[in-house]
Amino acid sequence: MTKHPDSEAPERNPSQARWSDLVPDPSMLEALRYAGVRPEDGDQNAKRRWSEKFAHACAVAFARELRKCADLRGKTITPVAIGEGTEALVPLGAGATKRVDVTVVDRILGLEVGISLKGLNFRDSNGDQFDKNLTGSMYELADEVRLVHEWLPRAFMTAVFFLPLESTVDKTSRAPSSFARTVTNLRERSGRLDPFLPGQAARCDSAYVALYSSGAEALGYPEGLVRLMNVNSAPPRRGRPRISDTLSIREAVEQIVAQATFSAEVEWGQPEIDPSRPDQAGA
């Protein structure tokens, strides 16, 4: 897998890399600065507006990496740039439409890959946890994915939940962190067994939880660090995941595309030898 120069640890044994070795990812810095000052003490409307701007800029970052993938040449990938409108409307048939944050669309086949971005960016009003609204976000995701899959069963849908780095050490020591709970809950709602089973329509095909540093955390990490964990990996119950168990944005995109475009190679058998055929004589 190609190394990404941003948000990567220096060349060393991956199992020994630490969060303190990372450098800010330019795309994450861009997203945080576009969203503006975090309204930590603001009302819900202010937090919602900040989260929407942050998600839009993160969608641009994912789309930018998707456009670098050779397997997606010739596809229409949106959004194109920060501030250029909202996410594309994807026609689903029967007069229905649905907004998907990041889309890879084929002119003939329609939506091929969709990425839905969700954020649990702020602590609850008591300042205890980040995952208070996790259940609602999961229902919203399931409804979105179900609507897409009912009309486009072959569309590969991925979910990415963004949480601040502090979500790995919130709550009391007796409870799993918000990060750990988000990974395990999202795992239960991802991985379709068969795209044509109606009961699987609400499940994502793959899912990730992205940890980022805003620069305002008491943990002291610089603004713009970001790492993603595939929900099929085992998260720590509390604390930051090991760097070797996480991915950069580019690595996650490469993984998504590899899964979305995978096709099993056909293994051909040998025919019975026919002496009357010149091409098989002496075989």
- State yes or no: pLDDT of 183 exceeds 80: yes
pLDDT computed for residue 195 by the predictor: 85
- State yes or no: pLDDT of 167 exceeds 80: yes
pLDDT of 30-52, one tens digit each? 999 999 999 988 899 999 999 99
- State yes or no: pLDDT of 282 exceeds 60: no
- State yes or no: pLDDT of 64 exceeds 80: yes
pLDDT computed for residue 5 by the predictor: 47
User: Mean pLDDT over all residues of the chain?
Assistant: 88
pLDDT of 69-86, one tens digit each? 999 999 999 999 998 755
Tell me the domain boundaries of the chain. Answer: 18-261
Residue 125: which pLDDT band, with cuts at 50, 70 and 90?
A: confident
pLDDT computed for residue 14 by the predictor: 58
CA angle 242, 117, 264 (to 5 degrees): 75
Q: pLDDT: is 87 or 185 the higher one?
A: 185
Predicted TM-score of the model (pTM): 0.86
Residue 123: which pLDDT band, with cuts at 50, 70 and 90?
A: very high
d(CA 145, CA 140): 9
- State yes or no: pLDDT of 178 exceeds 70: yes
pLDDT of 133-142, one tens digit each? 999 999 999 9
Q: Which amino acid would we find at residue 257?
A: V
- State yes or no: pLDDT of 271 exceeds 60: yes
- State yes or no: pLDDT of 7 exceeds 60: no
pLDDT computed for residue 1 by the predictor: 40
Token pair 């055929």 in the structure block, residue = 277
- State yes or no: pLDDT of 263 exceeds 70: no
* 134 Cβ contact partners less than 8 Å away, ≥ 6 residues apart: 120, 178, 181, 182, 185
Residue 95: which pLDDT band, with cuts at 50, 70 and 90?
A: low
pLDDT computed for residue 3 by the predictor: 44
Query: What is the SS3 assignment for the chain?
Result: CCCCCCCCCCCCCHHHCCHHHCCCCHHHHHHHHHHCCCCCCCCHHHHHHHHHHHHHHHHHHHHHHHCCCHHHCCCEEECCCCCCCCCCEEEEECCEEEECCEEEEECCCEEEEEEEEEECCCCCCCCCCCCCCHHHHHHHHHHHHHHHHHHCCCCEEEEEEEEEHHHHCCCCCCCCCHHHHHHHHHHCCECCCCCCCHHHCCCECEEEEEEECCCCCCCCCCCCCEEEEECCCCCCCCCCCCHHHCECHHHHHHHHHHHHCCCCCCCCCCCCCCCCCHHHCCC
- State yes or no: pLDDT of 87 exceeds 90: no
- State yes or no: pLDDT of 116 exceeds 50: yes
pLDDT computed for residue 4 by the predictor: 45
Q: Which amino acid would we find at residue 63?
A: A
Residue 128: which pLDDT band, with cuts at 50, 70 and 90?
A: confident
